[in-house]
Structure 1
């Protein structure tokens, strides 16, 4: 069993607890007193002032500000009580081990101390004790035995009387200036406090002492009030705990009832779902029987007719063919059922949650008005849905009209203002339904094409433009020597920043394209090379040979990837030909030569391919578009020089969309003309200028699956997006 600590040890522990700074947690160093009577080390207070933006001093414990004297933290009043506690601590350490105490007064340090003088604050031997009693010099000193010190620890050490020193003159302040209410030294009476009324501190101490003691009366009352308040707070704490317990019991009781009601509702919904599922399966089973009958009829027909032909008596199968309905083969039931929980629990839990079906268009739409259907399987909770359509290009929201159709069914109609990829967000009770947002592709009719819906500005002479599968916009910036990648909404994501002449670097990027794996292909006219990068920008392959031979370049300006055979086609502007490379950029073949005949070129600027693999080349100085087979065999051409419909003037860019419509950018007419793959003119848009929808050399074109057109406007340092 551990020994109980002595009274001295307990007192020592209590004193040491009061000697640690709350900021640095170390024993006080130069302790300073704040106006809130909290004490901290001088260096800790200086750090607080240094880190305060206004240079103020706030107490770390109570946040009360203390005005700083002109000399800063060092001018604050010293915490004399802390110094006194240090004296007590030192004395307690000695009392704690009295057997090792030697006399601290006489020169015989080997003499054992037997007493303690409170005024000298020293331990003394028997001889010094006798001297204290007999000499007048020590009259008034209180000498007690060490045993008595241990029994009267409260009066262990008398506070030392310290004389404060003047911060300006470093002299003891023995005077009190009455007008200023300050302690001053003798030098202050001549300089700062000249002609002021002052007196010796000792003379005014008694009157001020009484005044200070009288001022403690309100403090004592406030202390009593805080004691009462703490009692009241403890009482209120107990009341709140008790009240909270009662409320918790009530809540548990109510939720037990609600849980039981929800379990009941869960069973109803599960039964409802089971019924709906069985109904769907029954419908599919009936449809399967129909298809099996059709299959039997067609099989018997084939067998009968073939046997009749063999025997010379054919039958007529036209009636059987005419009555065949392909829609019978499409499953009539879908898995678009979803569970929509109620936004709030209502008193009647029988209305919590519902099953609903959503039918949303999921492919390109040609009409501007689109209708979706939202249907509750149970009409008992048919809170109307909220819906809005958001363009992934412009971030523009189209708010939808929701119309009730009866029996828990709603019609959602929306009329998009711009084409392109969009998302339909459907909410019920503030919560998105399962599957939301739903992808919606809004296809712009060709006759309405030509409205600018987005512009990417501040580019440096943009040339080629392409789109990857995520809808990111890839732009070659000639003057910057980089390829920039933007989000569908036009925010810059990353760059292929490899400007230079080394392998994998670019000097004058012109055309860009994307293959089926989202790799980026770039033709660099300045370095006469073809580069292939991953989507993230890592170099995969390169063709870096300058010349007129197979696989060599002389200022290439355009590139495309054939979606049918996967090969890469490069328009070599300076060599007046088109190179064909395999997907790994090994050379395959080339076609074309300088001239104006069929299959010849005069500065071919760009190249594209259609859905059948045919290759389209803009023959710039011959003012035409030539069409070739995938191997480079001449097929046809369209266009002639001019500014009218169907005429071309220095065509420099080309793209073919998924409907095999051909988009041609004309540097001479500063417009984009649209043709069928056979060369029939459909429309054109754009003119010379720098305003919206105008061009200054449209040197790059890309078209997405919705018919949204991306045009790099070279002279205006921008990419314009049209719908």
Structure 2
């Protein structure tokens, strides 16, 4: 068995691989760095430029171009890190045979080295090791044994960090010119960089190093992304192989099934043919017997008469004449020539299905792509595509588009585009979460039903889709990630959860005043884990339940101390920082809680100035984490930073477009549109996040689209608006 190479030999092999130019395959000579961070010999790069017609420099490995400085290849950044690898190479060569390694520090000839000094980058003997331990200026040097060096040499060999020399003044360049981004010497300050801001390298190196390392963070993330992508590609490679295997099995199975059906049909036809053939043969046998009887009768007649005439006397012949002639005539008259024709024919035919033969060429199909737009707009045509490997399939795909809110089906039109591609067109008439079902050969394609988010246009916003009725003064309304509708019913003291289609799923019913119980519910919200948060006004409490209804936390009591309330009424969860914001209507402030409901801070006070409130009611946050508060008496919406810093406001008291009257509820959708419910105006007004008025809908009444106090608003990812119509005891759904 071959002897295993030492760690030093393995390390030497790895280092030498890194020291070879990919162009000349020789050790680097004056290595230069390209913009793609690949390294080559200077003379190799000069040859590349010389042979390029445009005089450009492209990396031989990745083909990325590198701009040439005015001085040409020699002006490119020197790859100084390669020199450190050469130092490591030299050290590795020495340590390959540690028994022959002599001390490189002391004057005694051939004294065996036992250790390595990382700072001196020298192999030293025991005596020199002791000197390192005794001398104060050498005590901080890192001394390691030969054995340890053999195991971890590359890390232990320190780079030789020397100050570069100024090519113009032959001085050490110890200064850095900030405007020029260059190393300079003292003479450079006077002659070239006069009045420029500069600093000593050693004083600012750490900050510059940090800046360089910080610049690498996006690269690190991209590297992580490429690593993940390669893993995903390898995974997809395996998935495609496995998927192909499964499809092959499925194809074999289906065609075996078809073959079995054909074999069964063949058996049926053969049995039918056999029965028919036997029946024909039996019929022919019976006919043959009839003809044989006829033949016998006539043969007997001829034989008898002829023999009688030949052998009988004239008197005997004449005596029998009358009777014989009569019998002969009867025999002739009863003869039917048709009896002699075969009653059975060979006209039985096998008629193969020409259509079947033709269809066999189209049995089954491999569809390789189904392109479904996952977003749509009400009233606008949407086109999806289904592509097949073969242009010939037995039947085109079938499609249905269905609203998840109303179960309404929209007609889909399927058109053949040729070359195995089919176009599926539909025009949504209802906003909200929907699904497209695509079937090929009676079976749904992979991924079907496909979710489609249908958004309304702002000009048509306010069309009633449906209403959920028979509620008891619903105040707050929220949506979870599954599209379930969560409602806080004030008079019932319960939280009710409905399906997207409006079917009641479950109820959180813990009525009472004890911790974890509910009495007079107001606002409701959902966090990123689908936990339900609800404020109980009478109990001055904030409660947190799991999606299934288990109590997770309950905080608050009546008072003015941190974490206490004086009529909490509105709540929202900030999707950016995960914090919970609770409106305290009587204290005229907003409480901020951490995600675990520990108290964080609060902001606001009574008044009409910036950042002050007069009976604030609703609260919401946008994609950037900014907080919006419906300032009820002040008839405005105020916008704050996540920590409560005042940013801006919009709205003024009135009933015109862009004006607000008793804004009570507020919500911000995924496009940062702000929906404000107005108590006195009995409507919902829509603004941009900067306060530009877009639209309003609603009026006073109990008919569809009318309100009697819109106390809660929620908007889903499709732009469908859910409004708790409090005193009409319903939640209306709009697109």
**TM-score interval for Structure 1 and Structure 2 normalised by the shorter chain:** 0.5 to 0.7
Contact 2:436 2:452 in 1 (8 A): yes
Change (3 A) 1:306 1:684: farther
Change (3 A) 1:428 1:640: same
Tell me the equivalent position of 2:383: 371
Following the alignment from structure 2 to structure 1, what is the Cα–Cα distance between the partners of residues 519 and 356?
71
Following the alignment from structure 1 to structure 2, what is the Cα–Cα distance between the partners of residues 498 and 717?
21
Contact 2:494 2:507 in 1 (8 A): yes
Q: How does 1:165-564 map to 2 (within 5 A)?
A: 296=62, 298=64, 300-301=66-67, 347-348=356-357, 349-366=360-377, 368-564=380-576
Matched, 1:656 2:668: yes
Q: SS of the counterpart of 1:490? A: coil
Following the alignment from structure 2 to structure 1, what is the Cα–Cα distance between the partners of residues 602 and 643?
9
Q: SS of the counterpart of 1:715? A: helix
CA drift of 1:428 comes to 2.2
Under a length normalisation based on structure 2, what TM-score does the superposition of the two structures give?
0.53
Deviations 1:154-210 (A, max 9, x none): xxxxxxxxxxxxxxxxxxxxxxxxxxxxxxxxxxxxxxxxxxxxxxxxxxxxxxxxx
Following the alignment from structure 2 to structure 1, what is the Cα–Cα distance between the partners of residues 400 and 663?
41
Contact 1:666 1:697 in 2 (8 A): yes
Q: Which of the numbers 580, 595, 605 marks the counterpart of 1:568?
A: 580
Tell me the equivalent position of 1:647: 659
Following the alignment from structure 1 to structure 2, what is the Cα–Cα distance between the partners of residues 303 and 414?
58
Following the alignment from structure 1 to structure 2, what is the Cα–Cα distance between the partners of residues 697 and 593?
26
Contact 2:364 2:441 in 1 (8 A): no
Matched, 1:667 2:679: yes
CA drift of 1:299 comes to 6.2
Following the alignment from structure 1 to structure 2, what is the Cα–Cα distance between the partners of residues 302 and 370?
50
CA drift of 1:360 comes to 3.1
Tell me the equivalent position of 1:14: none
Contact 2:477 2:523 in 1 (8 A): yes
Contact 2:543 2:555 in 1 (8 A): yes
Matched, 1:676 2:676: no
Change (3 A) 1:444 1:525: same
CA drift of 1:584 comes to 0.4
Contact 2:471 2:489 in 1 (8 A): yes
Q: SS of the counterpart of 2:459? A: helix
Deviations 1:451-481 (A, max 9, x none): 1111100000000000000000000000100
CA drift of 1:309 comes to 9.7
CA drift of 1:351 comes to 3.0
Following the alignment from structure 1 to structure 2, what is the Cα–Cα distance between the partners of residues 457 and 446?
26
Q: SS of the counterpart of 1:550? A: coil
Deviations 1:411-459 (A, max 9, x none): 0000000111111011123222222111111122222211111110000
Following the alignment from structure 2 to structure 1, what is the Cα–Cα distance between the partners of residues 501 and 469?
13
Q: How does 1:23-172 map to 2 (within 5 A)?
A: none
Contact 2:541 2:565 in 1 (8 A): yes
Q: Please report the RMSD computed on the Cα atoms of aligned residues, expressed in angstroms.
A: 3.3
Tell me the equivalent position of 1:593: 605
Following the alignment from structure 1 to structure 2, what is the Cα–Cα distance between the partners of residues 718 and 515?
24
Contact 2:472 2:490 in 1 (8 A): yes
Following the alignment from structure 1 to structure 2, what is the Cα–Cα distance between the partners of residues 600 and 606?
14
Tell me the equivalent position of 2:41: none
Deviations 1:229-255 (A, max 9, x none): xxxxxxxxxxxxxxxxxxxxxxxxxxx
Following the alignment from structure 1 to structure 2, what is the Cα–Cα distance between the partners of residues 486 and 586?
30
CA drift of 1:526 comes to 1.3
Deviations 1:2-52 (A, max 9, x none): xxxxxxxxxxxxxxxxxxxxxxxxxxxxxxxxxxxxxxxxxxxxxxxxxxx
Q: Which of the numbers 583, 591, 604 marks the counterpart of 2:616?
A: 604
Deviations 1:104-125 (A, max 9, x none): xxxxxxxxxxxxxxxxxxxxxx
Contact 1:662 1:674 in 2 (8 A): yes
Following the alignment from structure 1 to structure 2, what is the Cα–Cα distance between the partners of residues 293 and 402?
50
Contact 2:362 2:394 in 1 (8 A): no
CA drift of 1:302 comes to 9.7
Matched, 1:708 2:708: no
Contact 2:435 2:451 in 1 (8 A): yes
Q: Which of the numbers 629, 639, 647 marks the counterpart of 1:617?
A: 629
Q: SS of the counterpart of 1:450? A: coil
Following the alignment from structure 2 to structure 1, what is the Cα–Cα distance between the partners of residues 516 and 580?
18
CA drift of 1:358 comes to 3.6
CA drift of 1:657 comes to 0.7
Following the alignment from structure 1 to structure 2, what is the Cα–Cα distance between the partners of residues 309 and 293?
13
Contact 1:422 1:442 in 2 (8 A): yes
Deviations 1:684-715 (A, max 9, x none): 11111111111110000000111000000001
CA drift of 1:362 comes to 4.8
Change (3 A) 1:350 1:404: closer
Q: SS of the counterpart of 1:365? A: strand
Contact 1:362 1:439 in 2 (8 A): no
CA drift of 1:350 comes to 4.0
Aligned length: 418
Under a length normalisation based on structure 1, what TM-score does the superposition of the two structures give?
0.54
Following the alignment from structure 2 to structure 1, what is the Cα–Cα distance between the partners of residues 704 and 581?
33
CA drift of 1:717 comes to 0.4
Change (3 A) 1:458 1:309: farther
CA drift of 1:382 comes to 4.6
Following the alignment from structure 1 to structure 2, what is the Cα–Cα distance between the partners of residues 483 and 307?
75
CA drift of 1:363 comes to 3.2
Structure 1: which 5+ residue stretches go unaligned? 1-291, 314-330
Change (3 A) 1:538 1:300: same
Following the alignment from structure 1 to structure 2, what is the Cα–Cα distance between the partners of residues 473 and 306?
67
Following the alignment from structure 2 to structure 1, what is the Cα–Cα distance between the partners of residues 480 and 60?
44
Following the alignment from structure 1 to structure 2, what is the Cα–Cα distance between the partners of residues 473 and 555?
25
Matched, 1:578 2:344: no
Change (3 A) 1:635 1:303: farther
Deviations 1:272-313 (A, max 9, x none): xxxxxxxxxxxxxxxxxxxx9999455635999999798999
Structure 2: which 5+ residue stretches go unaligned? 1-57, 79-179, 182-232, 262-354
Change (3 A) 1:549 1:389: same
Following the alignment from structure 2 to structure 1, what is the Cα–Cα distance between the partners of residues 59 and 408?
51
Tell me the equivalent position of 1:685: 697
Matched, 1:637 2:403: no
Following the alignment from structure 1 to structure 2, what is the Cα–Cα distance between the partners of residues 593 and 295?
65
Q: SS of the counterpart of 1:589? A: strand
